[in-house]
Chain A
Amino acid sequence: MRKLLYRSALGIMVLLFNSHLFAQDEDLLKLLGEDKPKKERIKYAFKSPRVINGHSMEFLNPGTMDFRILHRFGELNKGYKNFFGLDQASMRMGFDFGILQNLMAGIGRSTYKKEVDAYIKYAPIRQSKGPWSSPVTFALVSGITLDGLPWADPTRKNFYTSRLAYYFQAIIGRKFSEQFSLQISPTMVHKNLVQLQTDVNNIYAIGVGGRIKLSKRIAFTWDYSHVLIGMPDSGYYNPLSVGFDIETGGHVFQLHFSNSTGMNERAFITETTGNWGKGEVRFGFNLSRVFQIKKKKAEKK
């Protein structure tokens, strides 16, 4: 019995001494236990809430305003006489507001058709990692456009609502890696009034937008919409834009080539007349400057 007690006491001492020796070199932070994995939203899939023309899966931060100036020049194939299109320009000026982390709204006006457009964008699901996470962002956009041109035919009875068109879009996007983001966006555009009797009022399209980051501040982007139903028989093409996002601190420059002139969903999905094959491509740029209009409240413990 005594021997047993003696041995166990010795055993305890050895154990204690050993654990004490280990303690010198241990990872102290391990003592607190492993951090529980938290749900974390995947951010910055795109540099801006627009891929090029179309909406991206990204949102503005709450409390910020994005002042966007968009330019589309003339067609490149017009040659030196028009300085490869730079003599003409079409623009859209817009203000976008981040309201919540997953809610934003914006308004803009384009010189093309003197059109005013407004939209609201909401994401019920954001891409995240950790427990209960979603692999994709799912966002919904609803917008309205108002044509500002004089009536094409003033002799007939014209309704104010004939100036309006609507669009509804779902965006399913995923940031696959730091370098690569991809999204698809089924879209429906409804025009209250169409030009020809043969034109349809509802146009259905699917958009594919993506980004490949080339460096910390430069990314290659593309934005394509394929009209599935409602494309007029001739003279219209699917809009394709390719370009680069360049971030310089406060600004994001999006430089690109596109066959569309329009800068809202109605205009670029349904009224793109340029043909890439014939070089009817325009140089364009989007300039985005984000302002913090409401300061973040410092979290209080």
Chain B
Amino acid sequence: MKNLFVMTIALLVAMTGMSQKFYTKNGQINFDATSPASPEKIEGINRSATCVVDTKSGNMQFAALMKGFAFERALMEEHFNENYVESDKYPKAEFKGEIKNSDKVDFTKDGNYTVKIKGKLTMHGESNDVETEAKISIQNGKIKATADLNVLLSDYKVSIPGLVADKVSKTVKISVSCLLEPLKS
């Protein structure tokens, strides 16, 4: 009977060890919709994205408030919120997916990896499957992750009026970078 007790404890320890989760509340998301014909840079930055990664299952989730995107020009920020992403109606952008080859990554040791990420990106009320590569490096028990992603605005029903159609890029480059810390539950 003692064995069973020990076994239970061991299992308990093993499980909590295995279902390790990492998180951040200040992930950074940049987006760039500058086209060659744009008179100025169309760039926004959000520094308060939240992200949780379950290193055991490889599942990950991302969320960012659209109103959290800051622009150099106030008018651009207004147009972004009012006309393009309609952030009152659709306040959040979310990504729910998984790290495809998370089993190849040893999250307990320092090292650099390139992983494939696949999942669903939801924004402006539309969901689409997206796939990209991410670079992750494990440093002192924290995960540093960066990823680039190109999305087509028309996939998310973000319409650009004809007058400025050539001044805003039809594909938007999204760069994500964050430092994930272990989640203590």
Contacts and interface: CB of A to CB of B under 8 A. Distances in A.
Given A5-B1, A64-B75, A292-B75, A249 B82 contact: no
A98 B78 CA distance: 15
A248 B63 CA distance: 31
Contact of B12 (A5, A16, A62): A16
A247 B163 CA distance: 11
A61 B75 contact: yes
Interface residues of B, number: 43
Given A13-B11, A216-B82, A28 B54 contact: yes
B118 interface: no
Nearest to A2: B1
B21 A28 contact: yes
A296 B71 contact: yes
Contacts of A216: 82-83, 86
A217 B83 contact: yes
Interface string B30-61: 00000000000000010100101110010111
Given A20-B15, A24-B57, A29-B52, A299 B70 contact: yes
Nearest to B19: A23
Contacts of A13: 8, 11
Contacts of B45: 298
Contacts, number: 93
B9 to A, nearest CB: 9
A9 interface: yes
A249 to B, nearest CB: 5
For the residues of B in contact with A, the DSSP-based class is: mixed
A222 B46 CA distance: 37
- Interface residues of A toward B: which range? 35 or more
B74 A31 contact: no
A32 B74 contact: no
Interface string A111-139: 00000000000000000000000000000
Contact of B15 (A2, A16, A28, A61): A16
A69 interface: no
A301 B26 contact: yes
A285 B23 CA distance: 53
A87 B80 CA distance: 39
A230 to B, nearest CB: 38
B74 A63 contact: yes
Contacts of A228: none
Nearest to B75: A290
Interface of A: 2, 5-6, 9, 12-13, 16, 20, 23-24, 27-29, 31-32, 40, 43-44, 61-64, 98, 178, 216-217, 247-250, 290, 292, 295-296, 298-299, 301
6 contacts: A32-B50, A216-B83, A247-B83, A248-B163, A295-B73, A296-B71
Given A13-B11, A248-B163, 9 more contacts: A9-B5, A13-B8, A24-B59, A32-B52, A32-B183, A43-B81, A247-B83, A249-B164, A299-B47
7 residue pairs, one from A and one from B, having the closest CB atoms: A61-B74, A28-B52, A28-B61, A292-B73, A9-B8, A249-B164, A29-B61
